Structure 1
Amino acid sequence: MLRLIIGNRVYSSWSLRGWLAVKQSGLPFEEVVVSLYDEDWPARRTRPDLAPSAGKVPALWDGDIAVWDSLAIIDYLDAQTGGTLFWPKDNAALGLARSMAAEMHSGYQALRNEHSMNLRKSYPRVPSEAVAENIARIMELWTLARSRFGAGGDFLFGAFGAVDIMFSAVVTRFVTYDLPVAPAMQPYVAAMQAHPFMREWHECAMQESWQLPKFEQPG
């Protein structure tokens, strides 16, 4: 059985992505939740199950095979499930989907830095100029995907898949900070919030007792 190590659900955006990927695969898995950045974290991150990823979560174990980084986990699980659950088949859609996922993986630093993930809080804020630029780019890409390839469902490429997983934590930030969403993209945000996997994650997050002061500030 797969074994997935994740961090605090309230705060860990990359853990959310890795967990969604395993849920999307449909494969059975054991889930291990560890608290990040507490007093025991320096020692915990050196344990054999976290050492291969240098303490980063999510970390996926398939027997003695370690896979970390959310995008790597998506691609590993895609290969294990016949390449049918994560990426669109049409070449034009696939090219856009791969590019969007990679841009999400490495980009939008202002949004990440100024609006950390926190599912417990509501911090309505006017975005900075840098964050507004990130939001404009995200709206541009979402609109492009939905208009060209989203006719088959409620998600960016119709069916829920890899790109939705990669943007899942961005959706939570739009909600937490009441950031502006283009009217045409509001149904997409609502669909993401209503997805059963997202609801399950949120419900479990609300049961956590950990409080990390560094993430309990509005930014």
Structure 2
Amino acid sequence: MEIVIGTKKWSSWSMRPWLALKHTGAPFQETLIELRQVGLSEEIGKHSPSNLVPVLKDGDLVLWDSLAICEYLAEAFPDAGLWPKDKALRALGRSVAAEMHSGFGALRTECPMELEARDKIIDLSEAAQKDIRKIAARWNQLLERSGGPFLLGAWSIADAFYTPVATRFVTYGVRLGDYGDTGLAQKYCDRLLQTPEYLAWERDALAE
């Protein structure tokens, strides 16, 4: 199995399925493509039908969407527990992962992932602040239901999807208590950035 990803400091979409794949414990080959370079589209096009990363290759199967890759991994490695066995929690997890997959555009645009930076001072738009409030509320909602320590109890694909968001909050000095957090969300945010999978990604990213 091979995963093709972009520069680890910047590619939030690459991080998500990489974390899920790492969590399975299965061996895999990693192909890293440097982003923000001349001829990038052609280089990615050697691997991806969409000219975008990430891409997962498993034999002659090629998948080029982060959520589709994670779902495939959940089915390929059922013992890894990438989704919970509880039907309701699993459905909620898919809902919040899909919400991240398609939403929060203002936050993503104004606060791109930059793992090499800390506490950057920027003026967030009302739209970006609304995104943060919504994320804090969603995290609290799920943590209260599941009991934590992660969104659905045990670590899952939902957590993979929100780990890049946690890095953004660190990079741009976002304190969730300023956005309606009861305390659960900030602790969860900090916890995401202490998982062995994320720390392995960060170590590689900062060494690039």
TM class by shorter chain equals over 0.9
The one-letter amino acid paired with 1:42 is: S
Query: Which one is further off, 106-115 or 20-29?
Result: 20-29
Equivalent of 2:140, from 139, 143, 146?
143
Give the Cα separation in 1 of the matches to 2:139 and 2:123.
21
1:194 matches 2:194: yes
What secondary structure does 2:68 align onto? helix
Q: Which residue of 1 aligns with 2:156?
A: 161
Equivalent of 1:62, from 58, 61, 80?
58
Give the Cα separation in 1 of the matches to 2:63 and 2:81.
19
1:5–1:60 CA contact under 8 A, matched in 2: yes
2:44–2:53 CA contact under 8 A, matched in 1: no
Q: Which residue of 1 aligns with 2:71?
A: 75
The one-letter amino acid paired with 1:16 is: M
Percent of pairs with identical residues: 39
- Pairwise CA distance, 1:12: 0.3
With over 3 angstroms needed to count, the CA separation of the structure-2 counterparts of 1:37 and 1:125, relative to structure 1, is closer
Q: Which residue of 2 aligns with 1:174?
A: 169
Give the Cα separation in 1 of the matches to 2:187 and 2:92.
21
Q: Normalized against structure 1, the TM-score is what? A: 0.88
1:14–1:70 CA contact under 8 A, matched in 2: yes
- How many equivalent pairs are there? 202
Q: Which residue of 2 aligns with 1:215?
A: none
Q: Normalized against structure 2, the TM-score is what? A: 0.92
- Pairwise CA distance, 1:126: 4.3
- Pairwise CA distance, 1:82: 2.1
- Aligned-residue Cα RMSD (Å) equals 1.4
Give the Cα separation in 2 of the matches to 1:194 and 1:126.
28
The one-letter amino acid paired with 1:162 is: I
User: Which runs of structure 1 show a deviation greater than 2 angstroms over 4 or more consecutive aligned residues?
Assistant: 124-127
* Unmatched segments (≥5 aa) in structure 1: 209-219
1:98 matches 2:97: no
What secondary structure does 1:4 align onto? strand
